[in-house]
Amino acid sequence: MVQTLTVLGLESSCDDTAAAVVRQPDGEQARILSSIVHGQTELHSAFGGVVPEIAARAHAEKLDICVVQALDDAGLNLSDMDAIAVTAGPGLIGGVLSGVMCAKGLSAATGLPLIGVNHLAGHALTPRLTDGIAFPYLMLLVSGGHCQYLIVHGPEKFTRLGGTIDDAPGEAFDKTARLLGLPQPGGPSVEAEARLGDPKRFRFPRPLLDRPGCDLSFSGLKTALMRMRDQIVAEKGGLTRQDRADLCAGFQQAIVDTLAEKTRRAIDLYLSEEPSDPVIAVAGGVAANSAIRAALETVCEENGARFTAPPLGLCTDNAAMIAYAGIERFRTGARAGLDLTARPRWPLDQTSPAMLGSGKKGAKA
């Protein structure tokens, strides 16, 4: 049966409160009719990280405003929706609960079906929303809170090939910036400094490259950086602009080399499944880094795979990806009841061993 679906999506798992409306005629590419994101950066900036209680309260205050704005921007009413999709995990539990309770209220009041969406599935399915990429494709999720390689086989079928066992790369960039007195978010400021630096002056470790597989580790980089910084300060009494630039360049090169090598290994595993049109998609704020992007593009080219990255606004947290994942799940028949639970941890691939790390943005899945 051909069915056009229009879904309202809600997202509140970390520090962005978001609502969006996405429509997909069956067999055609989906369209984002509206997408509202209220960030909370300024609420948390004094604390050096996301404060879960503050985040949850801000979500509870902003969710209904976002929903009204998203419906207004789309020029639609709740009665035009076919379902309500909400992030039900993983994430900071207070925030996830705020979204789930809001969605349950809307569902109970309107009778619309409710769909619980895994936040990571939202990220992982975004290349289908933006470019209509066919299954199976390889996904590298790389942000301040996430870092993992996934083969995406279907809306509910993911194979995790590996991921970080401690910090996410964005988190490592942010900590590096803090250690060098550069502004937050750290990624763009470290990248800008790195352009002026010599990546060979300081030799940073390439964590876990000596071990097989696709797992990553980034927390050792900040310890190495701290040691190098302290040594320069002890010898010269402070850091020059060039010292700072060289430290940033060395640090960034270590991340570039590590991600390039682990991506090569992930591609090998992916290609062994013989996809007819191999595609590697990358998503997350760190995908904005041009050195990382260039390295990933080269690795894809060398391996005969297409490289794709959604526009930045859809790489970072948003509700359009949740509404779209809701559409994909709706078509598979997924429906949640009012007993839908909020989950702090929710691995996409239930068969892989649990990840160990827990970063600034909460538990990693």
What's 69-99 look like in SS3? HHHHHHCCCHHHCCEEEEEEECCCHHHHHHH
Shorter beta-carbon distance to ligand KG4: residue 25 or 48: 48
Q: Which is nearer to ligand KG4, 113 or 362 (CB)?
A: 362
Contact 50, 92 (CB under 8 A): yes
**Residue 77 beta carbon to ligand KG4: minimum distance, rounded to whole angstroms:** 31
Which phi and psi (to 5°) does residue 89 adopt? 145, 175
Q: Which is nearer to ligand KG4, 105 or 185 (CB)?
A: 185
What does 316 interact with, of Zn ion, ligand KG4, none (CB < 5 to 8 A by kind)? ligand KG4
Q: Which is nearer to ligand KG4, 278 or 359 (CB)?
A: 359
Quick one: what does residue 174 bind among Zn ion, ligand KG4, none, with the CB cut-off 5 to 8 Å set by partner type? ligand KG4
User: Under a CB-based contact definition with an 8 Å cutoff, are residues 132 and 93 in contact?
Assistant: no
Residue type, 94: G
Q: Pairing relation of β-strands 83-89 and 5-11?
A: parallel
Residues near ligand KG4, by CB under 6 A = 14, 143-145, 170-171, 173-174, 185-188, 191, 284-286, 288-289, 316-317, 361
Instruction: Kindly state the smallest distance separating residue 69's Cβ from Zn ion, in Å.
Output: 21
Q: For residues 295-313, b (16+ Cβ closer than 10 Å) or e, as one string?
A: bbeebbeeeebeebbbeee
Near Zn ion by CB under 5 A, which window of 42-50, 55-63, 219-227, 317-325? 317-325
Instruction: Report the partner that residue 144 touches, choosing among Zn ion, ligand KG4, none (CB closer than 5 to 8 A by kind).
Output: ligand KG4
In the bound state with Zn ion, the residue whose beta carbon lies nearer, of 92 and 247, is 92
* Binding partner of 127, given Zn ion, ligand KG4, none, CB within 5-8 angstroms per partner class: none
Q: Given the complex with Zn ion, which of 167 and 317 has the nearer CB atom? A: 317
Residue whose CB is less far from ligand KG4, 284 or 310: 284
Least distance in angstroms from the C-beta of 177 to ligand KG4: 8
Strand intervals (E) in the chain:
5-11, 16-24, 31-39, 83-89, 114-118, 137-142, 147-154, 157-163, 279-283, 306-308, 358-359, 362-363
CB neighbours of residue 87 within 10 Å: 34
Which residue has 């990382």 as its token pair?
A: 292
Closer Cβ to ligand KG4, 144 or 162, answer by number:
144
- Closest residue to ligand KG4 in the complex (CB): 187
In this chain, which of 23, 317, 357, 363 binds Zn ion, going by CB under 5 A? 317
Asked if 257 and 299 count as a contact pair (C-beta separation under 8 A), the reply is no
* Residues 75 and 111: beta-carbon distance below 8 Å: no
Contact 252, 190 (CB under 8 A): yes
Q: Minimum Å distance from CB 161 to Zn ion? A: 19
Output the CA–CA distances (angstroms, integers) from residue 166 to 15, 66, 274, in the order listed. Answer: 20, 33, 31
CB of 290 to ligand KG4, least distance (A): 7
* Contact of residue 186 among ligand KG4, Zn ion, none (CB under 5-8 Å per partner type): ligand KG4
What's the full length of the chain, in residues? Answer: 365
Alpha-carbon distance values, 268 to 68, 259, 278, 299 (Å): 46, 14, 11, 11
Q: Please state the closest distance from residue 16 (CB atom) to ligand KG4, in A.
A: 8
The partner in contact with residue 324, picked from ligand KG4, Zn ion, none with C-beta cut-offs of 5 to 8 angstroms by kind, is none
114 binds, among Zn ion, ligand KG4, none (CB under 5 to 8 A by kind): none
In the complex, minimum distance from the CB of residue 173 to ligand KG4, in angstroms, rounded to a whole number: 4
Backbone φ/ψ region at 263: left (φ over 0), alpha (ψ -120 to 50), beta: alpha
Contact segment (CB under 5 A) with Zn ion among 96-104, 208-216, 238-246, 311-319 equals 311-319
Q: Closer to ligand KG4 at the Cβ: 145 or 199?
A: 145
Q: Which residues bind Zn ion (CB under 5 A)?
A: 317
